[in-house]
Amino acid sequence: MSEDIVSFALASLGLFFLAALFEIGGGYLVWLWLREKRGLMFGLLGGLVLAIYGVIPTFQPVHFGRVYAAYGGIFIVSSLIWGKFVDRTEPDRYEIIGALIALIGVLIMFYVPR
């Protein structure tokens, strides 16, 4: 693997996981506001975090459709990680298998040279 491909993969994966953190975190704050009655500030902060999430994928170096298709798989994996560490729920074997299948799809869609 050349250094360029490794650099591209690391940078794009970093952006994907950063976007997932902002999307899931912002959604979680809105969840706390509406479902847990935590107060309007949670909702406003959640909205701001979600707006920042919307900007992060624009730094990916490929077209919109491919970015969001690949991001879907990263989002799945990130959601399970969030669930484990924030909600304290262990993913079951089928969630893990499904996430791995999605991740393989991401690797094929985004990183196979054309």
Cα separation, 69 vs 44, in Å, equals: 28
pLDDT of the residue at 5? 84
Whole-structure pTM over 0.85, yes or no?
Answer: yes
- Model pLDDT for residues 82-99, shown as the tens digit of each residue: 999 999 999 999 999 999
Amino acid 1: pLDDT: 57
Domains in the chain: how many in total?
Answer: 1
What is the structure's pLDDT at 71? 96
Q: From CA 19, how far away is CA 80, in angstroms rounded?
A: 15
Q: Which residues of the chain have pLDDT under 70?
A: 1
pLDDT at residue 2, rounded to an integer: 76
* pLDDT at residue 33, as a whole number: 98
Are 74 and 23 contacting, i.e. CB atoms less than 8 angstroms apart? no
